[in-house]
A and B are shown apart, each in its own frame.
Chain A
């Protein structure tokens, strides 16, 4: 069976396992099998049935988005890897935030 490498923060949902063997002939089937084995992963990988925008799946060193996406065919000895795209951002700036004073959220 193919293997999927799990990123460190999500290993809490795979009983600490870094690599999970999965069944399936395509990347999509393999991911479905993964979340069947470890259902708590689903919310962090999928938004409804779509992969979350910051979740990347690599087959060897290639992003499946540049292949056939979830329909990309895989073989039994293939190695998949889940790689998050780290992203962050500032809240919209307000006139107050430009005043040079420390801005700590009052709702905090």
Chain B
């Protein structure tokens, strides 16, 4: 069973994120393994304004201070350079990144918003008690005011409640 939720992209159209069950499972297993700390990585893909296909994921180490990793995630700028070059070599694009929210919701935080870029897909996975149970996709509005939720076929959780543009404090 799958549920689709729609948000408004920066172009004002509904963007749909396509990501296979296998890649979602791979993300979930990685983020369950890093629990209770946050984990993450890059999304490589192809797409247009209203459709995005995630082709591959690349795990990247969390380099935030270890004592803060339960609620913070950061990558080295060099990881971005390396992955952007890799994507170019493979004829793909660096289209987004994913990370976990341990024991919290798959909704962007204010910290996420402050550090986000538009035109980039942010997949957030809620990991509750070491089990990934929700995965949602977001995109920063062009005016940086908030995230809009994107349509994502969520294979992790059969039931969840409503969705739209939102962010936690």
Question: Which residues of A line the B interface, CB within 8 A?
Answer: 7-12, 40, 43-44, 53-54, 56, 58, 63, 81, 83-93, 97-98, 100-105, 107-108
Contacts and interface: CB of A to CB of B under 8 A. Distances in A.
B109 A101 contact: no
Contacts, number: 144
A87 B163 contact: no
B99 A88 contact: yes
A86 B72 contact: no
B115 A86 contact: yes
Nearest to B162: A108
Interface residues of B, number: 60
B144 A44 contact: yes
Interface string B149-166: 100000001001111101
A89 B77 CA distance: 17
24 contacts: A7-B84, A8-B119, A9-B117, A9-B118, A9-B120, A12-B118, A58-B77, A83-B81, A85-B75, A85-B77, A86-B60, A86-B75, A87-B111, A89-B72, A89-B73, A89-B112, A91-B105, A91-B107, A92-B169, A98-B103, A101-B128, A102-B134, A108-B107, A108-B161
A43 B83 CA distance: 25
Nearest to A8: B94
